[in-house]
């Protein structure tokens, strides 16, 4: 397929595909799916080999969020039955992190519900970061605390944070449909604050909320423009008790096409399969490793994932290897304290001239005889009842 050959060539040169090319990936048929995976896999292997980076979530403060994000089980007024607790103490958070690190994770993601941290919250998280770093040599720490105020990113960086996560989630055009209590611009501002402070910017999306292909392409192009070093791709977990509880729009094939599109647009960036992979990819999870070079180990913030041991077995069985603490995740040109690939004009200077003729856009295959999408799998949505905030051993 000319489209895929063109996209592979562009991915190896770090050249941005056109919007039409990105849309064409999402429009490919199930019949062509393995060809799409194979093509995006070439780009993934070129920049990241067969390494899989493991990340581990620690939910520092769960529930009781004043924001109204439609997708979130922790939103204001949600009756989802999730765990609700206030801040973990530094030693408690470090103990939770140690479980994930023992399972093979090299990055710990410290997350707290809420609009954004107070200065006292930043002090609290800074103490937690220092404790985790003192007790676990070589660990990376990413903070995810919501919208940042001036100076807070610098303080987190000073405490030893390596990265900051704040997802754009969806396109600017449709952001107001999922959240009213803050704006898309607020989220962009926080990612830029993290970058300016020297933190590696981690920002991604949520698919399956009823968005269009155009929305997906828009948000991924925006993430590339923001120069995020890592892009988590979440697949909506439709929690009962949230406004999006009835949004069961994803199939395993759709998820793979989304991941492939992200890889083509962000060829040299850490693409992470995040929440909802077990729910929507199901038995096709190993194929997704040919597209993404990073996953979360074990459970998520408020829902359970598959067993950590099963994650490790899946990686090994698929012919991949867990990235170790002495291996650097990003390609050399993207290293440097959150600077990414566009410090000055480095990204443009390294790109070969775009002399390839535009690829012929793929047309959606007729769907008259396509199998019906599976119904909602509510049986696979399990509220987390172990790990942080409980007395039960974590899944790691």
Active site members: 65, 69, 72, 109, 142, 202, 272
Please give the DSSP secondary-structure letter assigned to residue 378.
G
Distance CA 254, CA 101 (A): 32
Around Cβ 62, how many Cβ atoms within 10 Å?
23
Biggest alpha carbon–alpha carbon distance for the chain: 60
Distance CA 357, CA 378 (A): 46
Contact 241, 355 (CB under 8 A): no
Q: What is the CA radius of gyration of the chain?
A: 20
Distance CA 15, CA 349 (A): 11
Contact 248, 311 (CB under 8 A): no
Which residues does 56 contact at the CB level (< 8 Å), separation at least 6? 97, 99, 100, 101, 103, 105, 107, 108, 109, 296, 297, 298, 396
* b/e sequence 232-247, b meaning 16+ C-beta within 10 Å: bbbbbbbbeebbbbeb
* b/e sequence 80-98, b meaning 16+ C-beta within 10 Å: bebbeeebbebebbbbbbb
Contact 59, 111 (CB under 8 A): yes
- With H, G, I as helix, E, B as strand and everything else as coil, classify residue 54: strand
Smallest CA-to-CA distance from 293 within 255, 267, 317, 275 is with: 267
DSSP string across 195-239: HHTTPEEE--EEE-SS--HHHHHHHHHHHHHHT-SEEEEEE----
């Amino acid at each position: 397929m000319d489209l895929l050959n063109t996209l592979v060539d562009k991915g190896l040169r770090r050249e941005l595909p056109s919007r039409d090319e990105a849309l064409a990936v999402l429009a490919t048929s199930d019949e062509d799916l393995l060809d799409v995976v194979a093509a995006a896999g070439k780009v993934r292997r070129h920049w990241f080999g067969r390494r899989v980076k493991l990340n581990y979530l620690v939910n520092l403060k769960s529930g009781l969020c004043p924001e109204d994000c439609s997708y979130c089980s922790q939103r204001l007024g949600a009756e989802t039955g999730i765990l609700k607790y206030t801040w973990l103490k530094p030693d408690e958070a470090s103990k939770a992190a140690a479980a994930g690190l023992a399972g093979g994770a090299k990055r710990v993601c410290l997350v707290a519900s809420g609009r954004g941290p107070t200065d006292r919250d930043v002090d609290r998280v800074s103490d937690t970061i220092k404790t985790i770093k003192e007790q676990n040599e070589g660990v990376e720490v990413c903070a995810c605390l919501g919208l940042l105020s001036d100076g807070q990113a610098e303080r987190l960086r000073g405490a030893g944070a390596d990265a900051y996560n704040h997802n754009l989630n969806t396109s600017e055009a449709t952001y107001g449909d999922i959240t009213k209590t803050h704006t898309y611009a607020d989220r962009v501002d926080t990612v830029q604050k993290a970058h300016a402070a020297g933190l590696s910017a981690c920002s991604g999306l949520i698919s399956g909320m009823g968005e269009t292909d155009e929305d997906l392409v828009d948000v991924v192009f925006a993430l590339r423009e923001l120069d995020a070093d890592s892009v988590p791709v979440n697949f909506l977990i439709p929690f009962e008790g949230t406004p999006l509880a009835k949004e069961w729009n994803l199939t395993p094939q759709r998820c793979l096409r989304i991941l492939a599109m992200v890889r083509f647009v962000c060829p040299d960036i850490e693409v992470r399969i995040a929440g909802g992979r077990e729910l929507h990819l199901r038995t096709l999870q190993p194929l997704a490793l040919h597209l993404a070079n990073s996953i979360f180990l074990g459970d998520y913030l408020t829902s359970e994932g598959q067993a950590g041991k099963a994650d490790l077995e899946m990686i090994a069985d698929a012919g991949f290897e867990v990235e170790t603490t002495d291996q650097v995740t990003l390609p050399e040109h993207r290293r440097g304290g959150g600077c990414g690939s566009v410090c000055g004009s480095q990204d443009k200077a390294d790109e070969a001239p775009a002399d390839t003729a535009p690829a012929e856009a793929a047309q959606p295959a007729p769907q008259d005889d396509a199998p019906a999408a599976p119904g909602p799998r509510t049986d696979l949505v399990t509220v987390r009842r172990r790990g942080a905030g409980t007395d039960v051993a974590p899944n790691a």
